[in-house]
Structure 1
């Protein structure tokens, strides 16, 4: 039986579902990650301003629907266009975005637990997302370690994404430990520790590599310009996950040293937030910041930093941390709304589904 030739995209009209699936970028799930962290941080602030609670719940359900819609072409691509999906997995840049699917599941797990209070979907998304995070972290990095296709010009903070996925595990995984018992709890605790340890040290190594690229090679501009903000993701997630794991360990650990360590990461996050903003403004002035799907790279990292700020402010008693967090949340809302509107416009025209995006 002769296999049918893959469809050729029709550039003159709206792409078919098959064309969308064939070229479906794995980075689409950064939209779920970003919308989810906005929902979670809005929920956190609803403790101060109750009128934010319905907004957080609305964002939660919006994100659930968004994940379901995006999962259809993502899964269809693996089933019908497996060669294209595998080629992306071996790409020196695009491969790093594959873990966003799994990270989106972990973010949804945190949403189900914190905002909606439903344990069953929270556990299902957490266990499924955790398994996929480990799977993609090995699959993506194995091809990079074994091959010779990655050069310094391919190194951007997007390389952090597999590490970010690992450190996101305890965001929902820590609180979920309180709902599990026996062997399931022991396994979940082990997975949380493994993810936090592997992701944190991986970030330390990749940090040096990305700074080397920024100093010694050409700057990442154009579609890759927003990746400068990805530095904020591990800097925001690691403190939250670290504190979550500390709360669940079966032995007593003084929290103060780890709280101070979290403050150091937060301080670097503030510095990098300013740097990322300067780099973005410079790229925009130079006409090197076209809209693309990569704009969602602004959202989750900034939201992760907001989450860390809101978590550290009451624990440290430093009011300035909370003020920075609130200011960044307002920026997060503005960037999310702008990126969503531009994305919907790209969806309506079909331009955002073209391979170059």
Structure 2
């Protein structure tokens, strides 16, 4: 008698997709958005890239709309499961990707056609949600005993990343606000950048301690090593954007020098992250997972900072390094998009993830 073939799992129903929808899906929106913006910036040098940039812009708007349906549906239909994720030592850190994705889209609307009203429509709720998630995530971690040193990865930066991203679109939008709305927005930008920057410094020390004292975060969490580049790229952009909107004069040279020092650490970390990722690949410990989108936004934020600092400081070397990282970003984005499409087509990425 021939052995019975194992039954193939059926494609998950929409209700099952909603029930088990992972909060980290919006990292795909973050990565696609920053690729669109950096491609548009680079099109000033190579105009042939402009159609690609606009295509990425519209693709990302569609992607956000598609992903928002199951994300919101899970909160409405399975609120207890959504809240239970707050107790997961790793997945909880990915909740802010929803609001960060909205902040990225606000920046897209400013970059692509200067659509201020649409940018504000996304920025206001995104700013509020970013603060809400930062408190909820950190309170869940601080108030429990379920997180150990083995759970500490650069994914813990995500709430801080959300806070420092607020002024990227928020600071330029201050010029379009007046009265109490402007004062509130300015306060949110200042608090977000201050809290996120110092939070990153503390978490940087914690993750380096983990790198020294615990096993490497290989496996599905291997891409999180690139998350360092998120705050490294976002902080200089937000700092320069916010300084231009303050009612007091801030020395441009001092801010630019400090931003370049932070960029230097980012350039060093690009090499370190590449080495660690290659090590995971060689050991067969880099399986495809939704976390691969964690490669994209941090690298894109660093590319965006590279282009801005190269322009402001007239440093060709910084721009060339940024262009190289943009090429790497595009290649990783295409590979991750292809693997994600396969996972969605088979239903593997839509089932409960380990």
Equivalent residue for 2:12? 15
Q: Are residue 91 (structure 1) and residue 88 (structure 2) matched?
A: yes
Whether 1:69 aligns to 2:69 is no
CA distance in 2, matches of 1:340, 1:287: 21
Count of equivalent residues: 348
2:283 paired with 1:276? no
What SS does the corresponding residue of 2:47 show, helix, strand or coil? coil
Partner residue in 2 for 1:263? 260
Contact 1:97-1:158 at 8 Å conserved across structures: yes
Q: Equivalences for 1:62-141 in 2 at 5 Å?
A: 62-141=59-138
Task: Provide the residue aligned with 2:233 in structure 1.
Answer: 236
C-alpha distance in 2 between matches for 1:89 and 1:172: 28
Query: Structure 1: any 5+ residue segments left out of the alignment?
Result: 1-9
Match of 1:216 in 2: 213
Question: TM-score, normalised on structure 2?
Answer: 0.97
Counterpart residue number, 1:6: none
| Pairwise CA RMSD | 1.0
Are the counterparts in 2 of residues 237 and 304 from structure 1 also a CA contact under 8 Å? yes
Q: Which is worse superposed, 94-103 or 42-51?
A: 42-51
- Identify the residue that residue 45 of structure 1 maps to in structure 2: 42
Q: 1:49, 1:146 → 2: CA distance?
A: 51
Shift of 1:356: 2.2
Name whichever of 49-58 and 284-293 sits farther off.
Answer: 49-58
CA offset at residue 117 of structure 1? 2.2
Select 2:245's aligned residue among 226, 229, 248: 248
The runs of 5 or more residues in structure 2 that have no matched partner are: 1-6
Q: Once the 2 structures are TM-superposed, how far is the Cα of residue 89 of structure 1 from its aligned partner?
A: 1.6
Aligned match for 2:22, one of 17, 22, 25: 25
Match of 1:170?
167
CA distance in 2, matches of 1:45, 1:115: 13
TM-score by length of 1: 0.96
Partner of 2:150: 153
For the pair 1:226 / 2:223, whether they are aligned, the reply is yes
Structure 2 SS opposite 1:24 = coil
Q: Say whether residues 1:312 and 2:309 are aligned partners.
A: yes
Partner SS for 1:51:
helix
Matched, 1:288 2:280: no
Work out whether residues 56 and 115 of structure 1, in 8 Å CA contact, stay in contact via their aligned partners in 2. Answer: no
Q: How does 1:321-332 map to 2 (within 5 A)?
A: 321-332=318-329
Q: Pick from 196, 200, 210 the counterpart of residue 197 of structure 2.
A: 200
CA contact (8 A) 1:159 1:206 kept: yes
Per the alignment, residue 297 of structure 1 pairs with 294
CA change 1:353–1:193 in 2 (3 A) is same
Output the CA distance in 2 between the equivalents of 1:128 and 1:313: 32
Moved over 3 A (4+): none
Partner of 2:347: 350
Q: Is the 8 A contact 1:57 1:116 kept in 2?
A: no
